[in-house]
Structures are given as structure tokens and as C-alpha cells.
Structure 1
Amino acid sequence: MDKGKSGLSRLFNGVWAWLASRLNVGGNYGVLVLAVVLGVLTGLGAMLFRWLIGVFSNLFLVRLYDILVANFGVMGKYALPVIPALGGIIVGILIYKFAREAKGHGVPEVMESVALKGGRIRPRVALIKTIASALCIGTGGSAGREGPIVQIGSTLGSTAGQVLHAPPRRMRLLVGCGAAAGISATFNAPIAGAVFAAEIILGNFAATTFAPILISSVAASFVGRIFYGEIPSFIVPSYEMVSYWELFNYMVLGVLAGVVGVVFTRMLGYFEGLFEDIKCIPVWMKPAVGALVVGVIAIYLPQVMGVGYTTIEGILTDVKFSLMMMGLLVFAKILATSMTLGSGGSGGIFAPSLFIGAALGGFVGQVASNLFPGSTASPAAYALVGMAAVVSATTHAPLSALIILFEMTRNYKIILPLMFAVALATTISRLLYRESIYTMKLARRGVRIRGGREENILRSIKVSEVMRREYTTIQNSNRLGDVIEMVRGSEESVFPVLDREGEIVGIIDAHSLNEYVLEEAMYDIVVAEEVARRRFPLLNVDDNLLTALDRFQITGYEAIPVVDNGKVVGLLHRRDLFNRYQMEILLGVDEE
């Protein structure tokens, strides 16, 4: 058996080695081939994920619910919260034990890996995310399926890059290919998938970057169409403006969508922070608490459970919901999704944003129809525009929102009010809150994805990678004369002063010795500790170069000691920091 395993292992490693040598993942040809492979694999993964959601939904929301009703009669529906709570417990255990990155909606973790970790994601995340998200959605959690598939596809891209020893810039590109394939396979929207990856994940539309992403997106869409055909995600009638006066109505909708988008973003952030701060509940139990609340809401508004596409389709095809019901669904879905994901459940925010936008647009459309009967389009047309407007307001990605809605509905006649409302919603949301629903989570950790490429480069590199490990130290008991000779004969500019235990007690530089150079009478009297600077900057090995740059700018030193557990382990020089930064910039230019 062992011989068989070792043989299989050698065969597997040999195959990957052959692929690595043939594909040349650092070159353009190899990346294009990998883009196709990633698109196909992510497309298949998306099909498996959707199948799993159906299996769990049938098992829990149909069979288990029927058992509850059969045993408890009319009171059975009040036991409904037990189902999502049970799913929450299983999801919590899975995430807590195996991959904590799999909680939440997943896209922020992918963005962070691209910006700060060179695109590296643990391979196990794909498996855990698949099972946890399918369970969460299949047991009634209020979440979408696009976030998990983006994270799954990105993990596949990262894993391929790690196995084939791709350089960081190529690894990030492969992650983008996986993300594009995820969106494409989920919504049957290849153009939107490519734009999403370029606009949100990579922040780069360079031709050499966009081509592999587009190829991967097309491959995933091809796989999806084999399974589900070329039918768009939502089949809706062809809507168009009745009068140009309607632009005023769409302006109101755009403003409201911007406000609602910020409410959704802030509420999700609030519950994420709240559940993180709660210490009396075990981490693995927290998703069950959020899911229990969702179950209670679902007793009265079952539409909030799951992805919500059935309700969206109903609104888009003019199925009549009352004005009050539309308003309730907007805020109920915001609360349900915030509780599901904020408590640590697993799923996406894109589908909930579409749901909220459809309900909001339907609400505004009904009001407009009541106020101006016969001179406005159907409320369903407003629902269509509201979907894109709320998505844009939450993600701060207007281009992705526009294209994905066009590809999901194949309805292009309403383009003018759609662009108008999306532009307004994006502007309003950015004025009210600078973070998107994707960057908010990272901002709380001190990660500013939109702070600029330069900041992200510095933030992604640890001090320990650049510091000098060979440096000169001075004992605090050394005589002044010996210290002056040591400084004169060294190329270093800063010297840590250590006590007998090796702890740093100060630093000495040329400036601190200037007043003593001509005082030869003091050479044998004064010791190093007496002339050392007692107030001095320090860096930790885990600090990043952005932190180090701030420290250099504040203090003006040319070098700063680096410590680990109180012991000096290196010295970071200002010129080394800038040399590394310039090297990373040049690598990025070469990539583009």
C-alpha cells in the first residue's frame, strides 16, 4: 500500500512538474492555458456548488420542515427557526475547525490576498467554503452564492499558482481569473465576470491582465451553458421609459438606493463587529445565533430565506406585492443578511443586494404609478433599475453593476434610466460612507485596499524581509573613547546600545556623539549608556514597510532597530526600504 501511495505521489508530482515546465506560468502562453483550465474547473465547481445547495435545501427546508409540520401541526411553522439554527451550528464547526477565512462573504478575503499576500490562499478554503456556504444557504440562511464561488475560483487559481511556483504578479492574475470565472459561471455573464475581477479584485484593466481574465470567464460561462443552456438568470419582459419626465422618478430611486446601500453596508459591519466582540458565546455557535434570528423573521416573511431569486423573479414579472410588503422586504432582507453573515455564516452579498434593489425599485415604482397613473413604466421596470443601483451602492462598482444586470436580464432598452440611477446611487453612497461592502471589513483591520497601489506595496512587505541581520551593537558599559572609535570605523549610522541581558536601552548615532568628540578627558570616564539616546523609535519584525515609512518620517532617523520579543534582531535602513519599493514598482510596470 505504501509503495502504491508513493508511486501515485511521484506520478502526481511528476505531472505537475511537467505542466510547470511546459506551461511556463511566468510567460503569457502559460497563463492563457491556465486561464482556460481555471475557467473550466471553476465552472464545474459552480455547478457542484449549486447542486449541493439544492440537496441541502431539499433535505432541510422540504423534508425536515414537513416532518416538523407533520408532528406539530399548525405550530410546526413556529419551529422553522430550528432549521437555519441547525445549519448554523454545522457551518460554525466547519469554519472554526478547518478554515476561518471561509466565514462571511469571501470577496474581502480574496481582495486582501491579492493586495497583501501576493495572491496566496490556503487550498482547503475552496472545499470548506463550498460545503459551508451550501449548508448555510440550503438551510435558509440569507445569503447569495456568488461570493462563495468567487472565493472558490480564486482559491483554485491561487492553488495552481502555488503548485506551479508562479511569481506573485502571476499568482494575483490567476486569482483574478478564478474570480472572473466564478461570477461568469454563477450568473451566465462572461463580460460581467471579467469586469468584476478587473474592477474589484485586481483594480487593473491593463490588456495583459484583462485578456487571461476574459478567457477564463468565457470558459466558465461555456461550462455553465452546457448544464443550464443559454437562458439568462432572469427572464423579464422588455421594459422601456414611457416619458422623459420619468427621469425624476429614477433620480429619486437612485438617491434612495444610495442611502439603502449604505444602510446595508453599515448594518452588516455593525453585526460583524458585534459578534466579534461577544465573548460569552463560543465562536462556532455564533452563526447559529444569527441563523435563529433569520428563522424568526422567516416565520412571517419567508421570502428572506436563501438566495431569494424566486421573489426577485416575481417582482420583475409584475407579480403584485403590496406597497407595505415591498417596504418590509427591503429592511427584512437587510437585517436577515446582516445577521447571517455578520454572525459568521457563509455566503455572498450580491444576490441579497439584487433582492433589496428589486424590492426598493418595486416600492418606488408603485408609488410613482399611484401618483402618475398611465404616465410611468411598470413597477417591475423600476425594480430592474433598483437592482443595479443598490448593487452599485454597496459594491462601489458601477461598471460591474451595469454589465451584470444587462447580461442577467438581456434587457437593454432601459439603459438611460439605469445608468442615471446607478451613477446617482454610487455618488450618494460614496458621499455618505467611503467604504464599500467589500472594503469595510478590511478597513476595520487597518487594510486600505483603495489607498493606492503604492500603499498596498508597502503594506504587503514585512520589515523582516528587508532589515539587515548583520549590524553592530554597543554594550552600555563601553567607554566613550571606544564608542567613538567604533563609530568612526563603521559604515553604520545607528548603533543599538544593549545591557547585560541583551535588552536595548538606547541608540547611538553620529549626532549624539558630536558634543563629546573634542572632550578627550571624558573618554575614559563616560560610558555608552550615558551618551545614548533614551527616546528612540523601534520596529517589530511583524510590522510592514508602510508602518516603517511613517516611523522614518516622524523621527528623521536613517536606520531603526527591529526587535522580536524585546530583543534586537535587525536594523532597517531608510535607503533599503526605498530600494525595495522601487524594485516592486518596476516589477509591476513590467507586468503591465
Structure 2
Amino acid sequence: MTRRHLKLIFSSIIVGLVVGLGTTAFLYLIEFFSDALLSYPTSIWTPLIILMPAIGGLIVGLITYKVAPESEGHGVSEVLESMALHGGRIRARVPLIKMITSAITIGSGGSAGYEGPMVHIGGGTGSTIGRLLKMDEASVKILVVCGAAAGISAIFKAPLGGVFFGLEIVYGGVEAIALIPVVLSSFVSTAVAQGILGAEPLLKLRVFEILNPYEYLLFFVLGLIFGLLSIFWIKIFHYISDRFQKLKAPKYIKPGIGGLMLGFIIFFFPQIIGGGYEVINREIVVPISLVLLLTLGLLKIIGTSLTLGSGGSGGAFAPMLFIGAMFGGAYGLSLQWLLFSNTYGPLTPLLPFLASLMGSWVRYLSPAVAFEPMAYALVGMAALIASAARAPLTGIVLVTEISKGYTMILPLMLACITAYLVSRLIMRGDLYTENLLKKGIDLVEERRADLLDRVRVGDIMSEPMVVSSDMKVFQVLEMICKYHHHGYPVIDNGTLIGVIDSDTIDREMAENHEMRRVGELANKNVVTVFPDETLHQALDKMLENKTDRLVVVDRKNRNIVGIITRTDILEVHEIKLIMKYGSGAIRDKLQKIARIDEEYREEMEI
């Protein structure tokens, strides 16, 4: 394990500790503002409920746009943008400002969750710590992911869910160098949060068990529906956000306008205030009416879009869970009424006909078969994460971990993958990336280009085959004939002094100088690279110097430690693309390789 890896692991533990403490402070801050702004006697609370989100929005607008404009919104998109364009750099003030503005937004009645802010706060913390420790860009990015994962882990007290969130959504894939630091950060932050706040989870979900194997068909249909629902949710969210962007009003006033519009909604439906965790906990146990579930789900879409689209600060992740639970519960209640009702349901007259078509299948649609309508609420939460955030693994793991419902793993997998595929086939962007695409930021392309920045020369260099400066020309010729390498580094007491190539050896042999020492003939103008430089830097040096190989030397003493070729770099890039994006990306990459080869040949001819 290299010194860089050890430093990264140590730093990830620090990030987890700080984010765990920050999560605790954030939750206490929300409680403080909620008590200060929403805890009034009933007689005066009713009219104030309309105004409080507007007042909170105005305060947030002033703080945000005067101090840290990048702290607006739900936080995840901002972290993704910093990863794609700024090397993971997030200003040190952002975590603190995000914590304050999000606490005010949520505490004043905003329809937003805790998780998005904690992703931004955690990511900013990781970025700041990485830069304070003077770490390289790739390491800073990993610490941003560590902070984001630690924030999710601490909020939900679900370290595995946090790990998958960080790797799948923020990092864009699983790589060995990032896995251990992210796991450590998530573990430490969760342990700190549990130690201070207790082990009781934010969401207290029931455990369900599916006894009817034919219900898997119903979960498949749920996945289809939720794939479409996610597109509706994304479209509404960004439509309202675009309307506020085009609104001719000072930016700092817009969150207040959105808050006022939200106030009229929560006057009648206060259930959509905040993340709605209490409502989810209650409805999973004792579901309310079908109509109210649908109403709350739709209003949460509108309320969250108003809160965040106007410039308020908060998360969209908890609203995803709320919307998924409400619509999933409504789907389950609909199935119970249509198919599993103890009374005369609308499909009862059709059962004999269905039985003649499908035989024994219909006997499972009987009141005698146990049916849990709110199991569909649980699966709905995961399915909406999978489709709206394009994170099926996060949805499966997080909901399984929170609910301890390991008996639901198969329905979760089926619904999440189905919802993800439907959403992905219809719409390119997701809840977090759609606004980035409008700015011309394509995360997939950015991450592909970023692959060469994540791998160090020292990770793939090969053992050097060297010649001593006192070797004779004929001895080097024998090596060339035996090993078929066209160039060799020349060393003197372990230190690189130059390179000797086959053309020089052939010329000396033709002139009968086979006994000359190669140290006299070596080309002293050697292009070198250090083990801790990235493959991107190495490839740039090759193109700049019109060579297809570089000698790798130690920074301190210039001793040769390896060799790296252009083919080595391109092969690594191709393999990583296959692992991360599948074979379709390889066609694009091969075209790029062909262009690089053509440029290389042209430069060599000049």
C-alpha cells in the first residue's frame, strides 16, 4: 500500500468524524429553527403557517445570494458539478452556509429533506480537508465522495446505503481505490451519529413478507408505473425551477415567493412539511385513504418543486421517499380493493372468466391469501430512487437496510431495475443531472475523460529492462535481438543517465564500433515521468515529445523505477471503460484511440 493510499484512508476517517458531528449539529439546528418558527399556540399558528415558509425563504435568499450562491438548491447537483468541472473543489464556507440555510428552510416549513444538504455539507467538508492536507485532485474527489456518503449514512444510520449512494450517484462507479475510504467514512460518521443521537433510525419501517409468488407480477407492474412516475416528477421539478429562473425578480426574493405559494398548500396539508418522515412512518403502519395518499404524493411533488426550484435550500432525496411511499401505498390499496377485497370488488364478476383463462393463478387473488398493501409503499420508495436518481443499487440497499426487510429483497430488485430501465429508456437526464445537461455538462462524458486522471503511472508501469553505462555496443545488440525492444534506459549506479535505441546501435555496428561503451552514446535528453503522476499527464507528455514510451523515475534520486508505454495507457482506459460503462462505450473509445494514433503519426512525421 502506497503512502498516498495510507494518507487517503487516514483522511477518510477524519472526514467521517467531522461529518458525523456536522450531521448532529445540523439536526439540532433544524430542531431549533422549527421550535422557533413553527411552535405556536393553535390560535395564532394557523395564519402564520402560510407566512412562515415565505419568511424563511426570504432569509435564506438573502444569506445564500450574498454569501454563497452555490449553496442554493438540493445540493447533490452542485456536488456533481464540482466533481465534473472543478476537480472536487468546494469553497470552505459552503458547508456552514448550507447547514444554516437548509435548517432555516426546513425549520420554517419548507418541503425538503435533510439528505441533500448533508451530501453538500459532507462533500464540502471532504473537499476542504483534502485541500488543507494538500492532496492531489483525484484524492480530493474521493474525499468529496467520502463526505457525501458519510452524510447519507449518518442521517439514515445506514452505512451501506450511504456507501452505495456515494459510489453510484456521486462517484459514478465502484473502484477499489475509492471503496475502502468511502466505507470507512460511512462507518465512522454513522458511529458518531449513533453515539450522540442514539441508534433509533429516522425512518421506522415495518418488515413485510411476500407469501404469494404471483405478487412478483404486481411488483413488476409497479416498476413500470414508477419509471413513468419518476419522469413526471423530474419534469414537474425542472419546469417549476425553470419558471423561477425566468421570473423577473431579484434572486434573493424568489425563495420567499416560492415559500408563500407553498404556505397556501401546507395550510390545508401540513403533512408535506419537511421531509415527511413521520408521515411515512405512520402510513406504513396504518394506511390512510387511497385518495389522500394520492393527494399527498402529488402535493409533495409540487411543494418540493416550489421550495427548491425557487432557490430554497434542502434535499430532494427525502421527498423521493415520501412520494414513493404515498404512490406505492396507493397502488397497494388499489390492488387490495380490486383483487384481494373481502367484499364485492369491481373485478369480482371477472374472476370466473379469469380462472378459465389462467387456471390456478386466480386462486391466489383470494382474501384467504395474505396481502400487505403497504409492502408496495416500501418498494415504491426504492423504485423512485432507482428511477428518479438513476440509482437502483442505492434504492435496493438503502430501503433494505433501513427497514431490515431482507425478506423483501426480491420485490425490491425487480421493481427497482424495471423502474430504472423505463426511466432510462425514455429520458436521458435524472433529477440531479437534468439541469447540468441544460448547462452543457454531460457527467458520463466527463467521467469517461476523468478515468485517466484516477490512475497513477506507478499503478500500471512495468519493470524496466535497463543497460549499464559500461556495457558494450555488441552486448546491447544481443539484448535487442533477444527481447525485441527498440530502446533501453541507460543507468550508472542505478541513476538514469540517458537512453539508447536500436538505430544508434545499428549505426555503431556498421562503423565497427561494437566495443564502444553505451554510456558514451546514450541520448541524455530523456523524457521522464514520476510514479505519482496521472496517466493523463503521461499521455500528454508522450504526445508533446512525439514518443510512445516514458521512463519512470523516483522524484527524490532520479533512480529508474519503471517503464510505461502509450499502449499500456490506452489498454487500461479501455478495460476501465468496459468495467464501468459496458461494451458500447468501447466503440467510442476505439474511435478516440484511432484519432490519437493518427495525431501521433502526423506529429512524428513533422
CA distance 1:355–1:293, shift in 2 (3 Å): same
- Aligned: 1:77 with 2:46: yes
Find the counterpart in structure 1 of residue 429 from structure 2: 435
**Residue pairs, 1:434-453, within 5 angstroms:** 434-451=428-445, 453=447
> What CA distance in whole angstroms lies between the structure 2 residues aligned with 1:355 and 1:578?
58
Q: Which amino acid letter does the alignment assign opposite residue 250 of structure 2?
A: P
Which of 318, 334, 343 aligns to 1:351? It is: 318
Which of 406, 409, 419 aligns to 1:412? It is: 406
C-alpha contact (below 8 Å) 1:136/1:346 kept by paired residues: yes
- 1:63-101 Cα shifts (integer Å, max 9, x gaps): 3xx3xx435xxxx62442101100000000011001111
> What CA distance in whole angstroms lies between the structure 1 residues aligned with 2:79 and 2:112?
18
Find the counterpart in structure 2 of residue 260 from structure 1: 229
Find the counterpart in structure 1 of residue 36 from structure 2: 59
- Aligned: 1:378 with 2:378: no
- Aligned: 1:366 with 2:333: yes
Which of 259, 263, 266 aligns to 1:291? It is: 259
Q: CA deviation at 1:379?
A: 1.8
> What CA distance in whole angstroms lies between the structure 2 residues aligned with 1:355 and 1:577?
57
Find the counterpart in structure 2 of residue 306 from structure 1: 274
> What CA distance in whole angstroms lies between the structure 2 residues aligned with 1:376 and 1:233?
28
- 1:7-39 Cα shifts (integer Å, max 9, x gaps): xxxxxxxxxxxxxxxxx9961111111111110
Q: Which amino acid letter does the alignment assign opposite residue 282 of structure 1?
A: P
> What CA distance in whole angstroms lies between the structure 2 residues aligned with 1:52 and 1:230?
19
Between 1:429-438 and 1:140-149, the stretch displaced more is: 429-438
- 1:453-480 Cα shifts (integer Å, max 9, x gaps): 34458999xxxxxxxxxxxxxxxxxxxx
C-alpha contact (below 8 Å) 1:116/1:459 kept by paired residues: no
C-alpha contact (below 8 Å) 1:232/1:410 kept by paired residues: no
Q: CA deviation at 1:320?
A: 3.1
**Residue pairs, 1:96-135, within 5 angstroms:** 96-135=65-104
**Residue pairs, 1:409-558, within 5 angstroms:** 409-451=403-445, 453-455=447-449
C-alpha contact (below 8 Å) 1:26/1:170 kept by paired residues: no
- Aligned: 1:207 with 2:176: yes
Q: Secondary structure at the match of 2:407?
A: coil
- Aligned: 1:149 with 2:118: yes
> What CA distance in whole angstroms lies between the structure 2 residues aligned with 1:446 and 1:588?
28
- Aligned: 1:43 with 2:20: yes
**Residue pairs, 1:169-188, within 5 angstroms:** 169-188=138-157
- 1:275-307 Cα shifts (integer Å, max 9, x gaps): 11112x110000011111111111111111111
Q: Secondary structure at the match of 1:387?
A: helix
> What CA distance in whole angstroms lies between the structure 2 residues aligned with 1:152 and 1:438?
16
Find the counterpart in structure 1 of residue 7 from structure 2: 30
- Aligned: 1:391 with 2:385: yes
Q: CA deviation at 1:587?
A: 14
Q: Specify every segment of 5 or more residues in structure 2 that has no aligned partner in the other structure, as ranges.
A: 341-366, 455-539, 548-565, 577-606
Q: CA deviation at 1:180?
A: 1.1
Q: Which amino acid letter does the alignment assign opposite residue 365 of structure 1?
A: G
> What CA distance in whole angstroms lies between the structure 1 residues aligned with 2:570 and 2:268?
58
Q: Secondary structure at the match of 2:39?
A: helix
Percent identity, aligned pairs only?
39
TM-score scaled by length of structure 1: 0.71
Number of paired residues? 444
> What CA distance in whole angstroms lies between the structure 2 residues aligned with 1:233 and 1:423?
26
Q: Which amino acid letter does the alignment assign opposite residue 87 of structure 1?
A: G
Q: CA deviation at 1:384?
A: 0.5
Q: Specify every segment of 5 or more residues in structure 1 that has no aligned partner in the other structure, as ranges.
A: 1-23, 461-571
Find the counterpart in structure 2 of residue 544 from structure 1: none
C-alpha contact (below 8 Å) 2:126/2:143 kept by paired residues: yes
Q: Which amino acid letter does the alignment assign opposite residue 165 of structure 1?
A: K
- 1:397-443 Cα shifts (integer Å, max 9, x gaps): 00011111111111111111111111111111112211111111211
> What CA distance in whole angstroms lies between the structure 2 residues aligned with 1:210 and 1:455?
20
- Aligned: 1:340 with 2:307: yes
> What CA distance in whole angstroms lies between the structure 2 residues aligned with 1:439 and 1:271?
16
CA distance 1:407–1:584, shift in 2 (3 Å): farther
Between 1:390-399 and 1:223-232, the stretch displaced more is: 223-232
- 1:501-538 Cα shifts (integer Å, max 9, x gaps): xxxxxxxxxxxxxxxxxxxxxxxxxxxxxxxxxxxxxx
> What CA distance in whole angstroms lies between the structure 2 residues aligned with 1:79 and 1:45?
30
TM-score scaled by length of structure 2: 0.69
Find the counterpart in structure 1 of residue 137 from structure 2: 168
Q: CA deviation at 1:391?
A: 1.2
Q: CA deviation at 1:149?
A: 0.6
> What CA distance in whole angstroms lies between the structure 2 residues aligned with 1:457 and 1:208?
12
Q: Which amino acid letter does the alignment assign opposite residue 324 of structure 1?
A: V
> What CA distance in whole angstroms lies between the structure 2 residues aligned with 1:340 and 1:101?
16
CA distance 1:257–1:208, shift in 2 (3 Å): same
> What CA distance in whole angstroms lies between the structure 1 residues aligned with 2:167 and 2:416?
19
Find the counterpart in structure 2 of residue 567 from structure 1: none
